[in-house]
Structure 1
Amino acid sequence: MVPRVTATPAALALIDKLAAQHGPLMFHQSGGCCDGSSPMCYPRGEFLVGDSDVQLGEIGGAPFYISRPQFEYWKHTQLIIDVVEGRGGMFSLENPEGLRFLTRSRLFEDAEWAEIAAEDARLGR
């Protein structure tokens, strides 16, 4: 199964660094007005996920969630989490590092999408 979310080596290195400092992590991509392209990184359990969130997968051992409206908009794409210079979201753990996580994306190929659509149907997504 092709993953819905992946991370670049730079993002994985930052995840490892943050996990060493803060313990297990989690990510949430809200699509809000202020940090829409920046997933937020939290200590695991610090952000409450609910019925309006979908877990896309894991990156660097950290679960990655997205709001259901964003999932509907991006369900045909693979999210690729990268790192760029700059300040992260105000409450995101990478903020003091001078780096921020950034979401890039690519459309799934037809064969990938067929596999994913079958799995989504099985899971009731």
Structure 2
Amino acid sequence: MTTTLSRVAVTDAAAALLRQLTAQHGPLMFHQSGGCCDGSAPMCYPVGMFLTGSSDVKLGDLAVGLDDEIEVFISESQFEYWKYTHRTIDVVPGRGAGLSVEGPTGNRFIIRSRMLTDAELEAFGLASTSRSTD
């Protein structure tokens, strides 16, 4: 059995909200820029409302029980800062930025992160540049 490692995951609560938002807005995607509006919060947009560029890195796809998975991108500068972490998209009560589609629901998406495991570091080609064993 082959295990596919990913840099990104989603909690059950966030997946449930994403299914509701997809029913309302159509296919969705995430982008995290580290820009102005809500700091480095993950921003959720209808596909086509935010255009990724050559300096954006695709972290992976979220399977939330829909026909299509939700793509997750991060700006290159944020990726360099966070490349040694696994990121999980979660949802909490509160108002985030007005640009992300969950805003009117009274909830906001957040990132929960943890350091990559040794196996993940190896799989992503980061093992030789990671922590020292001295």
Q: Same fold (TM over 0.5)?
A: yes
Which of 105, 116, 122 is equivalent to 2:124? 116
Q: Deviations over 1:60-92 (max 9, x none)?
A: 311110000000110110011000000121111
State the shift of 1:37 in Å. 3.9
How many positions carry a matched residue from both structures?
A: 118
State the TM-score, normalized to the length of structure 1: 0.89
- C-alpha distance in structure 1 between counterparts of 2:40 and 2:34, whole Å: 7
- C-alpha distance in structure 2 between counterparts of 1:97 and 1:16, whole Å: 13
State the shift of 1:38 in Å. 1.7
Q: More deviation in 20-29 or 32-41? A: 32-41
1:88 paired to 2:91: no
- Structure 2 residue runs without a partner (length 5+): 127-134
Q: Partner of 1:72: helix, strand, or coil?
A: helix
Q: Partner of 2:5: helix, strand, or coil?
A: coil
1:32 paired to 2:40: no
Work out which of the two has the higher radius of gyration on C-alpha atoms and give 1 or 2: 2
State the shift of 1:22 in Å. 0.5
State the TM-score, normalized to the length of structure 2: 0.84
- C-alpha distance in structure 2 between counterparts of 1:34 and 1:17, whole Å: 24
Which of 55, 59, 62 is equivalent to 1:56? 59
Residue in 1 that maps onto 2:47? 44
Which of 3, 7, 10 is equivalent to 2:6? 3
Q: Once superposed, which parts of structure 1, at least 4 consecutive aligned residues long, lie more than 4 Å away?
A: none
- Structure 1 residue runs without a partner (length 5+): 119-125
Residue in 1 that maps onto 2:77? 69
CA RMSD of aligned residues (A): 1.2
Residue in 1 that maps onto 2:25? 22
Q: Partner of 1:54: helix, strand, or coil?
A: strand
- C-alpha distance in structure 1 between counterparts of 2:46 and 2:103, whole Å: 13
Letter in 2 for 1:13: A
